[in-house]
Each structure stands twice: as C-alpha cells, then as structure tokens.
C-alpha cells in the first residue's frame, strides 16, 4: 500500500513537470493534484485502520471484548472487527486442558506417609468469567487441585485409598469443580495416577510376598 502511494506521488510530480507553463491551467492542475493527494492519503489511512481492526478467532477460541475497559460481550469464532483504540480483545480457549498435579507427600488417616501424583482435566465454559473473575485460571486450578488432593486423601486410610480410588477421584473432582465454577471453568475428571509407599513399607510388603 505504501509503495502504491509513493508511486502515485512520483507519477503526479512527473505529469506536473510535463505541463505547459500556463498560469490558469497550472492553478487548476495544482488544485486537482492537492485533492488527489488527499484522496490517496485518506484511502491509505482507511485501509490501514480496517486491517488493524480485523481479528481472527479460531473455532476453539472465543474473544472477550472490552470497550473502554468495560466488558461488553464475547465474540467468535470467525473474523472479528474490533474498534481501534476503544476496544480490546482477550482470547480464551475452549479446549479441554490436561494439567498435571505434582507429586506431594500426604499423611493418610492411618498415619502412613505417601507420595501422590494426579492429573486433572478442565475446560472453560464461560469465557467472560474466566477473564474477569480470575487473573490466571491455569495457575489457580493447579493450586486448588494440589490443596484438594491433599485434604481429601488425608481423610482416607491407605487400604481405602487403594481399594476406593474411583470414589476418591470423583470426590476430588467435585470439590475442585465447586471452586472453579465461579471462574467459568468446569473440571471434567481427576485421576490419581501414582501412589508411592514409604521404603520400609515396600520392603515389608516384598518380604511378605516372598514368604507367601
């Protein structure tokens, strides 16, 4: 676009130099040139503004729109027009997020110290809440998941933890989901994926297995 504008200006100057030195015709020609310059600049400005205002929101995304700092709604997917300067758009993804819950030491109800790692799956169901209600939803879900796993697992004995894993997973999921609902997120599943027993208990179980 800039190259076209420069080329037009150079072409007009070349035509102006080739005109006969007639004062009346020269004045009219200069006026036409000035109007032509303004038209070129105006068209260029409009094209730049239009391109700066277009946003592409993918099928699995949504754009939360802020007009002068106030949330006005959610747009997408597709081609979105945003008013420059006055409107800002924040994108969120609607895809399910897989989040690892780091291994942590937990003391069970029967005072056994174990290491537990888990995985949680969540997705955004309300893009506007996920942007307005919480600063960093990924970090928030991760932190509340770690705390919930520790609190819920601590209510069960080791035997219950090993035999009732599915029920415990569901209880952890429901507790986390209750915290994330006001943030516009839904926890779809939580799975305990690794339970590490103390070394002395592992040795005792190994000796018992050998004896049998």
Which tens digits make up the pLDDT trace of 154-208?
999 988 998 999 999 999 999 999 999 999 999 999 999 888 887 777 666 666 6
DSSP string, 101-130: EEEEEEE-TTS-EEEEEEEEEEEES-HHHH
What pLDDT score was predicted for residue 71? 93
| 10-36 b/e (C-beta count within 10 Å ≥ 16 → b) | eebeeeeeeeeeeeeeeeeeeeeeeee
Is the predicted pLDDT of residue 20 greater than 90, yes or no? no
Alpha-carbon distance 126 to 86, whole Å? 24
10 or 42, which is more confident: 42
Tell me the angle at which helices 2-17 and 23-53 cross, rounded to the nearest 10 degrees: 180
| Range of weakest confidence among 7-16, 29-38, 104-113 | 7-16
User: Tell me: the pLDDT tens digits for 100-112?
Assistant: 999 999 989 988 8
């Amino acid at each position: 676009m800039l190259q076209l504008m420069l080329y037009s200006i150079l072409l007009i100057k070349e035509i102006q130099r080739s005109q006969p030195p007639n004062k009346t015709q020269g004045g009219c020609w200069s006026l036409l040139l000035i109007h032509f310059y303004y038209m070129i600049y105006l068209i260029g400005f409009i094209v730049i503004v239009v391109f700066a205002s277009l946003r592409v929101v993918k099928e699995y995304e949504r754009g939360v729109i802020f007009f002068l700092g106030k949330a006005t709604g959610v747009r997408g997917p597709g081609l979105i027009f945003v008013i420059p300067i006055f409107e800002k758009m924040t994108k969120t993804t609607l895809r399910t997020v897989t989040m690892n819950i780091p291994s942590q030491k937990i003391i069970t109800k029967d005072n056994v110290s174990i290491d537990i790692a888990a995985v949680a799956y969540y997705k955004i169901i309300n893009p506007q809440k996920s942007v307005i209600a919480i600063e960093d939803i990924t970090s928030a879900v991760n932190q509340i998941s770690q705390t919930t796993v520790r609190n819920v697992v601590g209510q069960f004995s080791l035997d219950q933890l090993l035999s009732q894993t599915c029920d415990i997973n569901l209880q952890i999921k429901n507790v986390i989901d209750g915290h994330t609902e006001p943030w516009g997120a839904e926890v779809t599943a939580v799975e305990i994926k690794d339970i590490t027993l103390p070394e002395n208990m592992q040795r005792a179980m190994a000796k018992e297995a050998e004896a049998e």
